[in-house]
Structure 1
């Protein structure tokens, strides 16, 4: 950090808890190394970073919404798309993926003026962007920017890597062609608008279907070695750093008392969006009731939607997830990359029940690498879910491999790798 004292690092995660909490882990490591991390946050995330002791700079919105109004908006959005989450990944392209990209592009356009107003005042030494689309104001800010790939590694295209969001195996050439053709057609309108907006801000167009270019300075990938993919064109280690996950530090968790208070511990979380699928979780609770295990279940702010809860199940609106996963014997999740990496970091098998986005890619990868199993979100029977849970809990070989990997990840925490790489960039 030659010539720099306590550099200001602005972290700008997308409006999702996965990206937000991933950036919290990086910020904790940066702060421990003497930097000054601050957060640029989307509406609705005010207080998330302040709770961890970091300064926040909120982007204003044209139409201010209260926290309750914003929560209701997202619950309505997800409920509208619940039928689409039961479709195959390729059939979600027109119904869910394309509308989501259109909403993301709208967010980029709306954020441009506030970012252009904020960044000259903030004067960061570097900006850490954990988003799936580029914000031109960041590219034009006059300081290095760092891309964080906190989705699956498939976000970076390569001929030997399956298409992003497809859930395909790498060797399915016909499936790849079909998916890429439909993907580019489905997102063409959003992509055309995005490229026209980029051009107006002095940025070059991106290839069809891509919404974010690699950083010319530094790119950070969460992907642990145990699930890393072979690429036709290897990534340049001078610009691309694998973090072996990026797990934040959270407070301890006081385990509730179950009846009976024994048996393996299973943690279920489908993230803030997946928690909206109350019908699915209720079906799962009925299966849990007959299993000799204890279950912690994240139901978001919908706790009151559940009436009869089995004695071996504890529901809550929030859990300090890393602390809980560290004590679990099995993690049932939607395939979000943070959740997948946390399971790997603590040597816990994953039962992945994906519903959208890169959850499909991570579900496929869990099976390919023997780090977990995939189960269809809608088509399972009670006996299939029960067999998947009991089978993973009894798979000693999988658990042993995961424990060896967890020890390796613990030796070089991804948060520390990220902080070191960012500060080395400033030193150069």
Structure 2
């Protein structure tokens, strides 16, 4: 088969879709990634596995005079700071602040820009099927005669939007106050979901396509919707999904970059010493105040650390018991460590469970709150509040988790189950069946 994969401009979903794409290639198919040309460098290491086609995005606005010499990621972080997304406020307040008319318009800007380009590539390449992860889609994908599959790479509450479950992007527990759920859900729909759906409808109408039916937030394929989330954390103990939903425990990619434990750490460590991975994601790692605090606090512990320092790696220094870089091959590092401290991003969560590691989740925004809450509820680790945890609380939590032999053994067994499961293969078989059925019809 010839498979198009179109993925949004976020590193986590891109890594997840690379993992799914690699499995399809192993099964003998040709995978063609359609990505924002600004991310071509990220996909370059995989160019011997996939064909990579760049899509020209909307031209960036002229930066503010004070930001002309800054990296694009720092400009984005500055906008997050101005919106208050790093402020000590509740998740619902962050929804209020981030969702303005400009934000929603920007969400669909690339979908509009990509629409004619994708139509042209469909004519040129004639794919057999589309796999898509996008908040707002180019409407030709949804309205083509080619079958399409929605691939969801965030906490599945955003895909399910079921009133029997807590609201997406909240920190509300599964056994929480239903009235509080409903109040949060009402604001979430008014401020975010409904506006995203309206923006999708607007783009469809602009290009002469019918508006999608029954859309609540993200698009959903009438044929197949695949999401990644470990079975042990999933919500199917509360709801039963339709047959055209398929869970994969983790898409985990094979990172082509080799990795060996750096001499700085290897020469210091003695038998029995513990190694910890710290990653706050591409956004969270740009919160320099938070990263510097981690360095200060963790330098006091008897453990060693591998750190994903992020794009601003040259603006702070690690302590003697740490090694890091702007980008580190996460899937090569995770098997080596005893504990993971991270922001709750869905891809890092699924990869951490895949390798059977206990975790401390410190969420910053979006579905990270849901993931952190679920980790706490299912006792896969602990959730800490970014603005409220004390130095002593962080150190104490690390000590308890890393020495909890029962927890570590349970997570090892779960990781072993996932690594030997056939979930990715099953998803690929369903994709293949869709193509077979479409050709027969």
The answer to whether the superposition gives a TM-score over 0.5 is yes
Q: 1:168 aligns with which of 169, 172, 175?
A: 172
> What is the SS of the residue equivalent to 2:363?
coil
Give 1:183 shift: 1.5
- The structure-2 alpha-carbon separation of the partners of 1:321 and 1:190, relative to structure 1 and needing over 3 Å to count, comes to same
Does residue 80 of the first structure (1) align with residue 79 of the second (2)?
Answer: yes
- The structure-2 alpha-carbon separation of the partners of 1:232 and 1:393, relative to structure 1 and needing over 3 Å to count, comes to closer
Q: 2:184 aligns with which of 175, 179, 201?
A: 179
Q: 1:95 aligns with which of 94, 97, 102?
A: 97
- The structure-2 alpha-carbon separation of the partners of 1:140 and 1:207, relative to structure 1 and needing over 3 Å to count, comes to closer
Give 1:325 shift: 0.8
CA distance in 2, matches of 1:355, 1:73: 20
CA distance in 1, matches of 2:143, 2:184: 34
CA distance in 1, matches of 2:70, 2:140: 28
Give 1:338 shift: 0.5
Does residue 260 of the first structure (1) align with residue 268 of the second (2)?
Answer: yes
| TM alignment of 1:30-179, pairs within 5 A | 30-52=24-46, 53=48, 54-63=50-59, 72-82=71-81, 83-86=84-87, 87-98=89-100, 100-155=103-158, 156-171=160-175, 172-179=177-184
| TM alignment of 1:23-34, pairs within 5 A | 23-34=17-28
Give 1:133 shift: 2.9
CA distance in 2, matches of 1:137, 1:71: 36
Q: RMSD of aligned C-alpha atoms?
A: 2.3
CA distance in 2, matches of 1:77, 1:301: 12
- The structure-2 alpha-carbon separation of the partners of 1:417 and 1:328, relative to structure 1 and needing over 3 Å to count, comes to farther
CA distance in 1, matches of 2:68, 2:422: 38
Give 1:62 shift: 4.1
Give 1:42 shift: 1.2
Deviates more, 1:295-304 or 1:98-107: 98-107
Asked if the contact 1:134–1:211 (Cα under 8 Å) also holds between the matched residues in 2, the reply is no
Task: Figure out how many residues of one structure are paired with residues of the other and give that number.
Answer: 418
Unaligned runs of 5+ in 1: 1-6
Give 1:299 shift: 1.2
CA distance in 2, matches of 1:74, 1:207: 35
CA distance in 2, matches of 1:174, 1:296: 42
- Report what 2:427 is aligned to: 418
CA distance in 2, matches of 1:71, 1:248: 31
Give 1:140 shift: 1.9
Does residue 378 of the first structure (1) align with residue 387 of the second (2)?
Answer: yes
- Report what 2:210 is aligned to: 203
Cα distance per residue 1:148-189 (max 9 Å; x no partner):
111001012112221111121133212211111211222254
Asked if the contact 2:359–2:381 (Cα under 8 Å) also holds between the matched residues in 1, the reply is yes
CA distance in 2, matches of 1:230, 1:420: 22
Deviates more, 1:255-264 or 1:119-128: 255-264
CA distance in 1, matches of 2:34, 2:99: 25
Cα distance per residue 1:360-384 (max 9 Å; x no partner):
1000000000111111112221111
Give 1:24 shift: 0.9
CA distance in 1, matches of 2:60, 2:325: 29
Give 1:241 shift: 1.2
CA distance in 2, matches of 1:109, 1:70: 29
Q: 2:412 aligns with which of 380, 386, 403?
A: 403
- Report what 2:348 is aligned to: 339
Unaligned runs of 5+ in 2: none
